[in-house]
Amino acid sequence: MTRKKKILILTADAGFGHRSAANAVASAILDSYGSSYECNIVNPVDDPRAPEIIRKPQADWDRTARTFPHSYRISYSISDSLLASMVVESVITQFMMRVFQDILKTYTPDVVISTYAIYNTALRSALKRNKLDIPFFLVITDLAHVHHMWFQLGPDKFFVPTEQTRQEAIRSHISPQRVLVSGLPIDPRFAQEKRDKTALRQSLGWNPKLSTVLAVGSKRVRDLFSNLKAVDKCGFPLQLVVVAGGNDELFEEVCTAKWNTPVFCYNYVCNLPEMLHAADLLITKAGGLITSEALACGLPIIFVEAIPGQETGNVRYVCEHSAGTMAKTPVKVQETLCKWLADDRKVLNQYSLNAIQIGKPEAAYQIAREVCRVTAEKPGSSLEIYMHEHELVSPSVWNG
């Protein structure tokens, strides 16, 4: 019986995007090559040996980004330099080397994929120190103007979401041959959905004839309710669909408020790909994941919030391609919506075409194809071979 190839995907839980990208790549690999591959997703920061200086920023990411956005912007800006990123990578390498070595020994992968910026140097050092010839790929999870940390040396190949990010990588001295524009990997269901909007709306119980505004929130999106009330008063015939994303307070507000337009409210959903395909436009925060999902569905986006530094590049990219806009106040949201829906939705239709042009619903599958092409060319896990040849049975015998 042929041994399954092993894919190790390293991620983090600072926000939704990193783990969602990891899940998307794993799903695409298993969907396309399931009988031949095994995928394991691991967050090294969860290891109890990870120092507080690394674990605490992940645990506090939500609170810091929401409560102290200006402080977050300043710290992001300071760290976004070659010198600062080298210092951070050096600290992580020093404290996380043993963690990475033990993860490699536990999972004996044929290839390693990372969806988090800070693992590059530490993982490469662990591979090099133990003479392991295992391909290492990096998946970048923001669309443009990304943090310099992503471009630290280490990966054999960089999967980037846009041509703009590819140029950023090249300017950071990454060889062009190592950079592949794949798109940001999203749930394969986005690429698999083939029904038209009418059929989708009917299946969801929505009015198939009304313009449909989808608003996606979460605990990370502040004051979305006031923007929804502005939508309700725009004067155009439409229906409003709200996904609170686990924000119980928002869900309760929407469910108990009085509305002029038909409103459908959900707290947390598992069929967001279906909903996005069924909608005409999206109102949300500028996360890399939800932005990529909307573009993959050809949805123009009204951004009502963006984390300073990290998400402003996503806004700029979408706006530069006339596929969306930033509306910082309810009045601006209403003005934008009226402009887009006026004149038989002329502007909205053009923005939708623009979104389709830059959307990449097949990104996860493209990454899966490249990863599996590389692993198929290798005879077996170099780590398993190395361990067998040297009769290694315990992490204590590893170099370190």
pLDDT digits (tens, 9 = 90+) for 283-326: 999 999 999 999 999 999 999 999 877 788 899 999 999 999 99
Tell me the residue type at 282. Answer: L
Mean per-residue pLDDT for 326-330?
95
pLDDT in the model for residue 154: 86
Residue 126's pLDDT band (boundaries 50, 70, 90)?
A: confident
Residue 88's pLDDT band (boundaries 50, 70, 90)?
A: low
* Domains of the chain and CATH, by start: 5-186+361-397 (3.40.50.2000), 189-358 (3.40.50.2000)
* Distance spanning both ends of the chain, measured CA to CA: 35
pLDDT in the model for residue 46: 87
- How confident is the model over 188-218, as pLDDT tens digits? 999 999 999 999 999 999 999 999 999 999 8
Give the global pTM.
Answer: 0.85
Answer yes or no: are the C-beta atoms of 160 and 313 closer than 8 Å.
Answer: no
Is the pLDDT score of 174 beyond 80? yes
Percent of the chain clearing pLDDT 70 (strictly above): 83
Long-range contacts of 337-341 (CB under 8 A, 24+ apart): 337/213, 337/230, 337/231, 337/234, 337/236, 337/281, 337/302, 338/234, 338/235, 338/236, 340/281, 340/300, 341/211, 341/234, 341/236, 341/238
Spatial distance between the Cα atoms of 109 and 383, rounded to a whole number of angstroms: 7
Spatial distance between the Cα atoms of 147 and 352, rounded to a whole number of angstroms: 28
Query: Given the structure tokens 């062009």, which residue do they identify?
Result: 176
Answer yes or no: are the C-beta atoms of 6 and 381 closer than 8 Å.
Answer: yes
pLDDT in the model for residue 292: 96
Answer yes or no: are the C-beta atoms of 156 and 137 closer than 8 Å.
Answer: yes
Strand partners, 137: 113, 157
Mean per-residue pLDDT for 237-253?
95
Average pLDDT over the chain reads 86
Spatial distance between the Cα atoms of 293 and 233, rounded to a whole number of angstroms: 27
pLDDT in the model for residue 49: 78
Spatial distance between the Cα atoms of 269 and 187, rounded to a whole number of angstroms: 14
| H runs (alpha helix) in 258-376 | 272-278, 288-296, 312-320, 330-358, 363-376
Answer yes or no: are the C-beta atoms of 118 and 91 closer than 8 Å.
Answer: no
Per-position b or e across 287-299, b if 16+ CB within 10 A of its CB: bbbbbbbbbbbbb
pLDDT in the model for residue 396: 33
- What is the torsional sign of CA 279, 285, 290, 295? positive
Kindly report which listed range (87-101, 259-273, 294-308) carries the lowest average pLDDT score.
Answer: 87-101
Mean per-residue pLDDT for 115-119?
88
Q: For residue 160, what are its two tokens?
A: 């980037």
Mean per-residue pLDDT for 174-180?
94
pLDDT in the model for residue 183: 95
Mean per-residue pLDDT for 148-177?
91
Percent of the chain clearing pLDDT 90 (strictly above): 63
- The SS3 call for residue 55 is helix
Is the pLDDT score of 16 beyond 80? no
DSSP string, 146-207: --GGGGSS--SEEEESSHHHHHHHHHTT--GGGEEE------THHHH----HHHHHHHHT--
Pairing between β-strand 111-114 and β-strand 136-139 as defined by DSSP bridges: parallel
Residue 56's pLDDT band (boundaries 50, 70, 90)?
A: low
- How confident is the model over 343-395, as pLDDT tens digits? 999 999 999 999 999 999 999 999 999 999 998 876 554 445 444 443 433 33
- CA neighbor of 140 nearest in space, from 165, 119, 164, 123: 165
pLDDT in the model for residue 45: 87
pLDDT in the model for residue 197: 97
Spatial distance between the Cα atoms of 215 and 208, rounded to a whole number of angstroms: 17
